[in-house]
Amino acid sequence: NAGVTQTPKFRVLKTGQSMTLLCAQDMNHEYMYWYRQDPGMGLRLIHYSVGEGTTAKGEVPDGYNVSRLKKQNFLLGLESAAPSQTSVYFCASSLPTGHSNQPQHFGDGTRLSIL
Amino acid sequence: LAKTTQPISMDSYEGQEVNITCSHNNIATNDYITWYQQFPSQGPRFIIQGYKTKVTNEVASLFIPADRKSSTLSLPRVSLSDTAVYYCLVGDREAGKSTFGDGTTLTVKP
């Protein structure tokens, strides 16, 4: 049982290049999230999904796109990378929120540097 | 959306009890309070969650007063391995409707 797996773990890009970060979870969770974390700061929500085929914007969505074609996968795309997007990206998943909150389960992050 | 306020940092020594308080003055009636722990180079990990009074698990206790405008995470007898950043979240009922603040950096010294 791997939980939440993110690939790649590290990546260096040049300004203007594009790339896709992959998040996979094996817990059959409905909800998935993408966050970014800049040095010394908390996590900021980029996009999230409450189910297969659905996505929504979070706190800092500009410059990113996402897709949830399969329940277990959530992809984060950078169409034209910018130095301001240098950060650590975390993916998380959870059961649906409802009568009580459901904890989010996080991957170990993707460290992305854009030169 | 409830805003949370935590101390930026705290120091402690091995074997001591550590209490980290989070203020959330505009917590909504249906909001839960959730705490996460994050080690360097890792994603956050769920510690404990509560709605009111006291919750205890094998790792920590969470104390919530009757007005629910604050909460206190209590870590008994900390060790060096408890050095981490601790985040308090309020309002996690809807996906995307809660935010992580900057957290409290706890440093445990020998």
If pLDDT is split at 50, 70 and 90, which confidence band does B97 have?
Answer: low
- Is A108 an 8 Å CB contact of chain B? yes
Could you tell me the CATH superfamily of domain B9-109? Answer: Immunoglobulins (2.60.40.10)
- Residue from B1, B92, B104, B105 to probe the interface with A (highest A Cβ count within 10 Å): B92
- Is A40 an 8 Å CB contact of chain B? yes
Instruction: Give the pLDDT confidence score for residue B85 in this predicted structure.
Output: 96
Instruction: Give the pLDDT confidence score for residue B68 in this predicted structure.
Output: 94
Q: Which residues of B touch A104 (CB under 8 A)?
A: 36, 44, 46
Q: Are strands B104-109 and B9-13 parallel, antiparallel or unpaired?
A: parallel
- Residue from A43, A47, A102, A106 to probe the interface with B (highest B Cβ count within 10 Å): A43
- CB-nearest to A45 from B43, B87, B96 is B96
Interchain CB distance below 8 Å, B41 and A45 = no
Is the pLDDT score of B1 beyond 80?
A: no
**What is the distance in angstroms between the Cα of A90 and the nearest Cα belonging to chain B?**
7
Q: Which residues of A touch B100 (CB under 8 A)?
A: 35, 42-44
Is the pLDDT score of B83 beyond 80?
A: yes
Average pLDDT, consecutive stretches of 10 residues, N- to C-terminus, chain A (115 residues):
91 96 95 92 91 93 96 96 96 78 88 96
Q: How much is the mean pLDDT over chain B?
A: 90
Average pLDDT over residues B15-37: 92
Q: Which residues of B touch A58 (CB under 8 A)?
A: 96
Q: Per residue in B33-59, pLDDT tens?
A: 999 999 998 999 999 999 998 999 999
CB B73 within 8 A of CB B48: yes
- State the CATH architecture for A4-114: Sandwich (2.60)
CB B99 within 8 A of CB A45: yes
Contacts of B2 (CB under 8 A, 6+ apart): B24, B26, B27, B28, B31, B90, B91
Strand partners for B64: B53
The DSSP call for residue B80 is: G
| Spatial distance between the Cα atoms of A81 and A84, rounded to a whole number of angstroms | 8
Sheet with B33-38, side-by-side order of all strands: B9-13, B104-109, B84-90, B33-38, B45-50
Q: Which residue has the higher pLDDT, B101 or B47?
A: B47
Interchain CB distance below 8 Å, B34 and A101 = yes
Q: Which residues of A58-80 are buried (b: 16+ CB within 10 A; e: fewer)?
A: beebeebebebeebbebbbebee
